[in-house]
Structure 1
Amino acid sequence: MADKREEKKKKKKERTPGTFAQMKQVYQMTKKSDPKIGWVLSLAALGTLLVFILIGVALGNWITFLILGLGAAAVVAMLILSRRAEAAAFSQIEGQPGRSGAAMNSVRRGWQVEEQPVAANRNQDMVFRALGRPGIVLVTEGPHSRVNALVSTEKKHLNRVAPGVPVHVIETGHDEGQVELKDVVKTMNKLPKALTQQEVQAVGGRLKTLNHMRNPMNGLPKGIDPMRARPDRRAMRGR
């Protein structure tokens, strides 16, 4: 009996949290960097509900619209929480080494994203790489004056193994011409498609060969683990 109880406890711990538990976790995470989130959600939900009630009163069927309004208010609150949670997740990794790679890893289907930086230096500047139908995308982290040399070197390597494949560079940061972390994925997805799916697979094989020929972590300062900067994807999607 004792073994069965222990097994039941273990299964409970391993269970995936339910929808409400997940939403609670997302809310708590968001509130740490966005203390007003409670008021924002409440006002948005009440405002949505009020609009539906007014429409119902005008049409002489306020009970039906009250029920519809409750559902609409919940949806609006969840959408706002999702957006705020995403912003909170990025604000929490701001300034951490590996933040650009973390932003890239929130991309969904259609991309092959390298988990580790393909180039780095002692100043903690890094270059991350992704491959998709637009071609190869290099996302940098650090001042332009310093990452420019890393990008140039990486482009030379890429030209040897994948000549003719478009290489796009996205610099992250807050300066002019740079892209905010929250906009990295959006910028990647807006790039024009240049390769077929079959060509992407072929280029992916060449890039794997390049990875085997060198250690992508060479030059990375000791004590830096870019994987620790990865945001909670579930939280960013508001699940």
Structure 2
Amino acid sequence: MVDKYNADDLAKAGRLKQIRMVASLVNQQNRKALPIVFGSAVGIIAVFVLVGLLTGFAAYLIPLGVLLGLLAGMILFGRFAQSAQYSAIEGQPGAAAAVLQSMRGNWTVTPAVTANRNMDVVHRAVGRPGVILVGEGAPSRLAGLIAAERKKTARVAHDVPIFDFQVGDGEGQIPVRQLQRKITRLPRNLRPAAVSDLNYRLKALQPSLQMPKAPLPKGVRQPKMPRPRVR
């Protein structure tokens, strides 16, 4: 399913319009999501109102119930929204790059540092864990592509840890919705100064992108997504 709302639309819209657009996307992906959000919020408020009236502490419990109900609704809505955003970009070329570029923190992301004529691509992210190479495409072809990029990166990264992942639904690959969680759970091996030095050294590497002979279809662009939450 192709999402009719993209990141550019969300950026141009006002805050309330953004919420309506995201709510529409969530409703498209999961018809039960919004009723669950509203039901949970109202249920929590109702419980606190009832307990407050029965115990005589309504003046304290009702405001607390309203706050907790709204908070629960916002958390649930955020989770459903994130799931819907991932569903909208899964299977699209450049989905992994979109996730990498949406990560919070001091990350330097270089999309498509290498690719082949079959449009299998490898993206690079540099941060506190070290160098992360993320491939999109067929597992059989990506293995060699990632290995070559890893070897090239190691020549300038020296002893810096290098991690690699394959995104997709094939054997040995991880779904795009799990990519950010995998990366943010990596150990922080480098200090900020070492990350800056590593980025400087990696600039010497020239992209080995092999563009296909046929022209790219018109209107094709890398998918974007709002920033998911980092937990």
TM-score by length of structure 2 reads 0.83
Question: Which among 79, 83, 93 is matched to residue 83 of structure 1?
Answer: 79
Q: Partners of 1:146 and 1:111 in 2: how far apart?
A: 27
Q: Secondary structure at the match of 1:229?
A: coil
Q: How many residues align?
A: 217
Cα distance per residue 1:146-196 (max 9 Å; x no partner): 100110110121122222211101222234543221221111111112211
> Percent of counterpart pairs with the same letter?
32
Q: Secondary structure at the match of 2:135?
A: strand
Q: Partners of 1:158 and 1:55 in 2: how far apart?
A: 62
Structure 2 residues without counterparts, runs of 5 or longer:
1-10
**What displacement does 1:56 show?**
1.8
Q: Does 1:172 align with 2:133?
A: no
| Bigger Rg, structure 1 or 2 | 1
Deviates more, 1:217-226 or 1:168-177: 217-226
1:232 corresponds to: 226
1:24 corresponds to: 20
Q: CA RMSD in A?
A: 2.4
Q: Answer yes or no: is the 8 Å Cα contact 2:139–2:170 preserved in 1.
A: no
Q: Partners of 2:128 and 2:42 in 1: how far apart?
A: 43
Q: Give 1:5-154 correspondences, 5 Å limit.
A: 17-114=13-110, 116-154=111-149
1:184 corresponds to: 179
Q: Secondary structure at the match of 2:112?
A: coil
Deviates more, 1:170-179 or 1:42-51: 170-179
Deviates more, 1:132-141 or 1:119-128: 119-128
Q: Partners of 2:123 and 2:223 in 1: how far apart?
A: 13
Cα distance per residue 1:23-44 (max 9 Å; x no partner): 2222122222222222111211
Structure 1 residues without counterparts, runs of 5 or longer:
1-14
Q: Which has the higher contact order (CA 8 A, sep 6+)?
A: 1
Q: Secondary structure at the match of 2:203?
A: helix
Deviates more, 1:186-195 or 1:33-42: 33-42
Instruction: Report the structure, 1 or 2, having the larger helix content.
Output: 1
Q: Secondary structure at the match of 2:124?
A: strand
